[in-house]
Chain A
Amino acid sequence: MSGQSTHHGPGAAGHEAHMDPATAREAATLGIWTFLATEVLLFGGLFTSYIIYRIKYPQIFYEGHLKLDHVLGAINTVVLIGSSLTVALGIAAIRKGKVGLLRLYLFLTLLLAGTFLGIKYVEYTEKFSHGLYPDTDIFFSLYFMLTGLHGLHVLAGMVLLGAVLFLAGRGRYSESYHTPVEISGLYWHFVDLVWIYLFPLLYLLG
């Protein structure tokens, strides 16, 4: 109790200093993978519903998927894959200490993410104008829940990457410290991963 260490006051500043940098990085990696595991099971409930109803109502799924715009879906897939690439390149850049390049790539990522949501918006309005809503039938319930939840994740990812971009501008990250960049990058790739399955399941399979 004598040598009260300064970094352990009740205030928030610098508390994480109780781990050495290497441990902190490993902990963060493990933490984000654990978080992604929870995300798998969050979407898992929807995937389970998808499988069950697909088996039960093949006809509804067949007719439903015809009403989706395959071309826009495919374009969006490519857009999201592109954003994954830019994030990966951004991380590669900061690993070499190139902050400017990181910011450029993050900016591109946000642009692509915005494009993705823009296209989603077009698709949704298109569906609504044809009277297709979440309560239309089981297929559209699934379509809107899956893409909606995924869209929310895209939005959350944009906020996260936006924050990283902002902090990078403040000179927070360097060759030796860039864990938050890596962590948010992993989250972003996961968002991409989910879409990689959603696209064929909803748009392509009849």
Chain B
Amino acid sequence: MQETTWNGEPLKNGDPPRGYLEAKGFWAWAYTLDHKRIGVMYLYTTLFFFLAGGVFALLIRIKLMFPGQHIFTNQTYNVLFTMHGALMIFLFVIPAIPSGLGNFFIPLQIGARDVAFPRINLMSYWVFVAGIVVILFSLVRPMDTGWTFYTPYSARTAADVTTLSFGIFLIGMSSILTGLNFLVTIHKLRAPGMTWHRMPLFIWSMYATSIIQVLATPVVGITFLLLAMERVLGVGFFDPAKGGDPILFQHFFWFYSHPVVYVMILPAMGIISEIVPAFSRKPIFGYKAIAYSSMAIAVFGFFVWGHHMFVTGMSGTAAILFSLLTYSVAIPTAIKVFNWIATMYRGSITFESPMLYALTFIFLFVIGGLTGMYLGALGADIHVHDTYFIVAHFHYTMVGGTVMGLLAGLHYWFPKMTGRMLSEKMGRPAWLLIFIGFNVTFFTQFILGFEGMPRRYAEYPAQYQALNILSTVGSWILATGILIMFANFVRGLFRGALAPPNPWKALSLEWETGSPPATENFEEIPTVTDWPYGYAGRQT
């Protein structure tokens, strides 16, 4: 294939134009104000912690294969699961889609040249990095509190919770700055003609996500500040010895951390809402229902935090109240699932990797969501709280949901971001291994939890061993799939076939510019006249 032009541009020594990737060197990245580069930096950073957290997970699983044997100390086990949870949640799952893909694609999808405040955007990235450095610094002394950092233990442990608190404060600040930037960007920088009801659903979901980031994160900021002050100055809000209330910490923590599960899941839902119609070649079914349910989830998500605290000695009034409210969040979630399925119904579906991950998302997230409903019921939760049932539940939602959504998005947008295609030959087997590995690893944990195996212990009675071995083997299958997938990414970056501007024939604006896009995104800001889902019915 000897071509001399590519998308109308002359080739330079046989290479297509590199668009925003043209400038090279450390400073061209570290100092960039380009939302696309900042997004890419976020992606590299967060994916690094995905791999790091994954290594911890594999170690945990190996230990759990051999109860009673001294592979490492129980203290080491505590450190491992704390590191796994904290790194995965704060440095990977929360920031990856919003700060990574969101940064890259919000301006492209709304037809803008950049976010509203590029400087703040860059600052948010470096604040994020500063937070990471502080957190890693705090981990010099082993951290053993669990990722929830419950008082009073976290106020007393010899681990360096004080430094860690400041790290989390910084990460939170970065998250706030990003959310703020996106809110203003979506309000002020939409291309001419792009009314609210012509916005891609990914934008709606990012808008809802940003609201949560802006309103919930400050609360976790002050919570960790108070925790640090409790250790440094002896402030007594969470200390029963001083008349404080350890459960207050949990209220604050979950006021943030429940809404934050929607920071994790809403952007993923947005990605699914893009991919499903594109690969079914059908207009999205129930556009408004999906858009508004994102907003509803964002708001209702603030009303249910108490369901994490049923067993803490919280008042009965609050327990019943929060249990009932929890069901209200289920409705908008169910609406989305039904709409995706209706979109696929009688579509001419093709099964490239983005769609495979999108379907996996729907399947796994439904299981995660249904078990969540089960847990939201007061009586059931008291039975399985702090067992492996919980571990399985949140892995079905966070890995089956968020991570699958992220992978769907990465496969979908890889050609746009890099200018090169991924290999389907590698992509499909990788997906299959991930799908099987995930279910083997975590479905067994539902059963274990139901049989009463408690979480967060290094040891357990022998009766649970068989299923644990199965789960560990599953984690190896999963890890193999993920490795192949990353190999595919690396291969694609260097050797992938050149990507046309719109490989999936999708209709939103990011596909109307080059792959990769030019630094200023669009040569001319497009004028929008229609919604982005007008796929012309069925084609053959």
A and B touch in the complex (CB under 8 A): yes
- Contact at B119–A23, with CB atoms within 8 Å? no
Within 8 Å of chain B (Cβ to Cβ): is A38?
A: yes
Cβ of B244 < 8 Å from any Cβ of A? yes
Inside 8 A of B184's CB, which chain A residues have their CB? 27, 30-31, 34
Shortest distance between the CB of A123 and any CB in chain B (Å):
17
Further contacts, 4 of them, CB under 8 A, given A1-B514, A1-B518: A4-B519, A9-B23, A15-B118, A135-B242
Chain B residues contacting A19 (CB-CB under 8 Å) are 116, 188-189
A38 touching B180 in the complex, CB below 8 Å, given contacts A19-B116, A135-B235 = yes
Asked if A37 is an interface residue, CB under 8 A from chain B, the answer is yes
Question: Counting CB contacts under 8 A, is B102 at the interface?
Answer: no
Stretch at the interface among A95-103, A111-119, A137-145, A188-196: A137-145
- Closest chain A residue, CB of each to CB of B221: A42
A30 and B234 contact, CB distance less than 8 A = no
A41→B236 contact, CB < 8 A:
no
Q: Does A177 contact B (CB under 8 A)?
A: no
B316 located at the interface, meaning its Cβ lies under 8 Å from any Cβ of chain A in the complex: no
Residue of A whose beta carbon sits closest to that of B177: A35
Question: What interface size band does chain A fall in?
Answer: 35 or more
Contact between B222 and A12, CB atoms less than 8 A apart: no
Picked from A34, A144, A149, the residue with its CB within 8 Å of the CB of B180 is: A34
Inter-chain contact B229/A145, CB cutoff 8 Å: yes
Q: Contact partner of B188 among A26, A49, A145, CB < 8 A?
A: A26
List the interface of chain B (C-beta within 8 A of A). Answer: 9, 17, 19, 23, 27-29, 31-34, 37, 112-114, 116-120, 176, 180-181, 183-184, 187-189, 214-219, 221-223, 225-226, 229, 233-237, 242-245, 248, 252, 514, 518-520, 523
Cα(A145)–Cα(B17), bound, Å? 55
Residues of A within 8 A of B (CB): 1-5, 8-12, 15-16, 18-19, 23, 26-27, 30-31, 34-35, 37-46, 48-49, 52-53, 56-57, 60, 133-135, 137-138, 141-142, 144-145, 149
Contact A39–B114 (Cβ < 8 Å) = no
Instruction: Knowing A4-B519, A34-B180 are in contact, say whether A141-B221 is a contact too (CB < 8 A).
Output: no
27 A-B pairs with CB atoms under 8 Å apart are A8-B34, A8-B519, A9-B23, A10-B27, A10-B31, A12-B33, A12-B119, A15-B118, A15-B119, A16-B118, A18-B114, A19-B188, A30-B184, A34-B180, A34-B214, A38-B176, A38-B180, A38-B218, A44-B222, A45-B219, A45-B226, A45-B252, A46-B226, A137-B243, A142-B237, A144-B235, A149-B225
Q: Return A1 CB to nearest CB of chain B, in Å.
A: 5
Contact A41/B215 with A27-B117, A141-B237 known, Cβ cut-off 8 Å: yes
Does B229 contact A52, Cβ atoms closer than 8 Å? Answer: no
Please give, as numbers and ranges, the residues of chain A lying within 8 Å of B518 by CB-CB distance: 1, 4
Is there an interface contact between B233 and A134, defined as CB atoms closer than 8 Å? Answer: yes
Contact partner of A145 among B119, B216, B217, B226, CB < 8 A?
A: B226
Complex Cα–Cα for A3 and B520 (A):
10
- Beta-carbon contact of B244 and A38 below 8 Å: no
- With A23-B188, A38-B215, A52-B248 already in contact, the answer to whether A45 and B223 are too (CB < 8 A) is yes
Is A141 within 8 A of B235, CB to CB?
yes
B520 contacts A5, CB within 8 Å? yes
Q: Are B119 and A16 in contact (CB under 8 A)?
A: yes
A15 touches B214 (CB 8 A): no
- Cβ-closest chain A residue relative to B107: A18
Residues of B within 8 A of A142 (CB): 237
A33 to chain B, nearest CB (A): 10
B247, chain A: closest CB distance, angstroms: 10
Q: Which residues of A contact B520 (CB under 8 A)?
A: 4-5, 8, 18
Q: Is there an interface contact between A1 and B218, defined as CB atoms closer than 8 Å?
A: no
* Closest A residue to B252 using CB positions: A45
Name the B residues within 8 Å of A57 (CB-CB).
243
Closest residue of chain A to B29, judged by CB? Answer: A10
Q: What chain B residues lie within 8 Å of A26 (beta carbons)?
A: 188
Compute how far the CA of A49 lies from the CA of B227 in the bound complex, rounded to whole angstroms.
13
Are A137 and B242 closer than 8 Å at their CB atoms?
yes
Q: Report the minimal beta-carbon distance from B241 to chain A, rounded to whole angstroms.
A: 11
Q: Report chain A residues within 8 Å CB of B243.
A: 53, 56-57, 60, 137-138
Residues of B contacting A8 with CB < 8 Å? 34, 113, 519-520
Contact in complex: A42, B119 (CB < 8 Å): no
Decide: B114 and A30 in contact? CB cutoff 8 A.
no
